[in-house]
Amino acid sequence: MRQAIFGLGKESMIYGIGSVITRFIGLFTLPLFTAYLKPEEYGVLAMLALLTMIAQPLFSLGLSAAMGPSYFESDNLLNKSKVVWTVFLINIVSAVILIAIAWLFPVMLGQLVLLPTEYTYLVGISLTGCALTVLATSFTQRVQFEKQSKLYVMITLATVLIATLVSAITVVFLEWGVKGMVIGQLAGNIVTFFAFLLIGLKATKPAVDFIMVKELLRLGLPLVPSFALLFILMHANKFILESQLGLDAVGIYSIGFNLGMAIGIVTNGVATAWYPFFMSYINRQSEAREIFARIFTYYFIGVGFLCLLFFLAAKPAVMLLTTDAFHDAYAVVGFVAMAFFFQTLFNLLTPGLYFNREVRYVTLLQFLAVLFSLPINYVLIAKMGVIGAAIGLAIGNCLMAVILYCWNVINRSRYLIILYEWKRIFSFIFFAFWVNIIYLQLPEITTLGEVTKSIVIVMLAISSMYFLLNNKEKLFLIKMATKK
């Protein structure tokens, strides 16, 4: 069991490191591109990115999640090849339709995201890149399913570097402005597609099963609305906040949101590694019972403690990084981190749905979470403003995980029964709650004092965490610490 958990941790770490490097490249090149692009052009890029965010999940047809049950149904290479290439065939049709719509109706699509008319010619280029990403889906999923995280990250980083290089040439030397940036992104999409296609050709045998098409679409299509639901869950509070308190409040909230979402480096890494990990147990579920429970505990305590650090470090971080007008954003950071924590916790609770080919219920459960969270957000924002929006965000994502857990309990006669270690989990929740309460009761002081206060509380919290471990875990840590 320890080896399996270490394997998941290693995969998560590799994906996380890849994410960190990718973000660093973007940060490193920011001064270069801001020197050649106008703020308006960055706004255009943001609108095109929003259009891509809408198009990609819609035209992916939910197949990235749907292909898992069929792929892991058998270890037979021919079966796996059929799944990969059947998904690819469906995606060809979907991608062609997306490209046709993008080039035939660029103005209409641009209006959907309030893109100025003079920039709508970029819609076709941008969505062609999106179509290539859709086309690569089955091959990227195969690499992840086979736990080839290093290969995946290497290709991703190579893509980012090539996209950045092409953008630098087109923006700096050719002076194409925002068009150069979009072409650079397209170059990256082209490299990604052909890199994963070549790997797929080498590792699989091209074969299509037309009977499988119906099953894949049956599993995937119900997941398409889940994107819209997640979008509402994560961003609807901004619209409520703007309507009640104006853009200034949204600006303060956005600063805290951007800082809090940094935890996504960890949670996204875990989520990416988790899907192929748990699906590999589809035909040996008896082995999964204890392993899944222990992974849930380690995630809850480990990443939960990281959330606690976001609460403890938010105030000095915001004070150091922003002006006085934005200092209230510190209250948002921890709750945003908590929201991302609960999103991945939701993923950890999904094996039963996938093992029983009932993925379609994900959308229903997310809809219930949105249904409850919207009025909660409205009331909290009306009474508490910016911090109410942050608390509402965390509650909404927590509800999503709680509703799924209740669903699993209701269907325990059919689903894999996992005996979660609730005593340890609630002990950690009690510990984290009181650490945060104690920190909040301390008086406000200067920036340097806040930094010192946070460091002291964090060190005490880390020391106290030792007592939440069992004897085996304590012994393991001691051995690791004393190992030469």
Q: What is the pLDDT of residues 317-369, one digit of tens each?
A: 777 776 677 777 888 888 999 999 999 999 999 888 888 888 888 888 999 99
Question: What is the mean predicted confidence (pLDDT) over 220-249?
Answer: 79
Which residues have CB under 8 Å from 480's CB, separation 6+?
none
Which residues have CB under 8 Å from 271's CB, separation 6+?
343, 344, 347
Which of the residue ranges 55-69, 251-265, 425-439 would you say has the lowest mean pLDDT?
A: 251-265
**CA 289 – CA 269 distance, rounded (Å):** 22
Res 247 pLDDT > 70: no
Residue identified by tokens 């969505």 is 127
Res 258 pLDDT > 70: yes
Q: What was the pLDDT predicted at 239?
A: 78
How does 163-197 read in b/e, with b if 16+ C-beta sit within 10 Å? Answer: bbebbbebbeeeebbbbbbbbbbbbbbbbbbebbb
Q: What was the pLDDT predicted at 468?
A: 73
Q: What was the pLDDT predicted at 1?
A: 63
For residues 89 and 217, the answer to whether their CB atoms sit within 8 Å is no
Average pLDDT, the chain: 85
Enter the DSSP assignment of 413: T
Residue at 329: amino acid letter = A
Q: What was the pLDDT predicted at 113?
A: 74
Res 422 pLDDT > 60: yes
Q: What was the pLDDT predicted at 299?
A: 92
Q: What was the pLDDT predicted at 5?
A: 65
Instruction: Provide the 3-class DSSP secondary structure of residue 350.
Output: coil
Q: What was the pLDDT predicted at 49?
A: 82
Q: What is the pLDDT of residues 171-214, one digit of tens each?
A: 889 989 889 999 999 999 999 999 999 999 999 988 888 888 98
Which of the residue ranges 38-52, 79-93, 94-108, 402-416 would you say has the lowest mean pLDDT?
A: 38-52
Q: What is the pLDDT of residues 52-84, one digit of tens each?
A: 888 888 899 888 878 888 888 877 888 899 999
Res 462 pLDDT > 80: no
Among 245, 389, 253, CA closest to 318: 253
CA distances to 61, 81, 90 from 94, rounded to whole Å, are 8, 20, 6
Q: What was the pLDDT predicted at 346?
A: 93
Res 416 pLDDT > 90: no
DSSP 209-237: -HHHHHHHHHHHGGGHHHHHHHHHHHHHH
Pairwise pLDDT comparison (295 vs 32), residue with the higher score = 295
Q: What was the pLDDT predicted at 481?
A: 62
Q: What is the pLDDT of residues 448-461, one digit of tens each?
A: 777 777 787 778 77
For residues 303 and 266, the answer to whether their CB atoms sit within 8 Å is yes
Is 300 exposed, middle or buried (CB count within 10 Å of its CB: 0-12, 13-18, 19+)?
Answer: buried
Which of the residue ranges 97-106, 129-138, 253-262, 375-384 would you say has the lowest mean pLDDT?
A: 253-262
Pairwise pLDDT comparison (88 vs 10), residue with the higher score = 88
Q: What was the pLDDT predicted at 342?
A: 95
The domain limits of the chain are: 1-208, 223-484
Residue 129's pLDDT band (boundaries 50, 70, 90)? very high
Percent of the chain whose pLDDT exceeds 70: 94
Enter the DSSP assignment of 469: S
**CA 377 – CA 239 distance, rounded (Å):** 11
For residues 331 and 346, the answer to whether their CB atoms sit within 8 Å is no
Res 484 pLDDT > 60: no
Q: What was the pLDDT predicted at 220?
A: 85
Q: What was the pLDDT predicted at 82?
A: 92
Q: What was the pLDDT predicted at 6?
A: 62
**CA 308 – CA 158 distance, rounded (Å):** 34
**CA 168 – CA 309 distance, rounded (Å):** 37
Question: What is the mean predicted confidence (pLDDT) over 132-138?
Answer: 93
Q: What was the pLDDT predicted at 315?
A: 81
Question: What is the mean predicted confidence (pLDDT) over 394-406?
Answer: 94
**CA 162 – CA 421 distance, rounded (Å):** 46
Helices 2-36, 149-168: crossing angle, 10 deg rounding: 0
Pairwise pLDDT comparison (467 vs 277), residue with the higher score = 277
DSSP 275-337: HHHHHTTTT-HHHHHHHHHHHHHHHHHHHHHHHHHHHHHHHHHHHHHS-GGGGGGHHHHHHHH
Res 421 pLDDT > 60: yes
In this structure, is the dihedral angle defined by the CA atoms of residues 444, 447, 449 and 453, taken in order, positive or negative?
positive
Res 152 pLDDT > 90: no
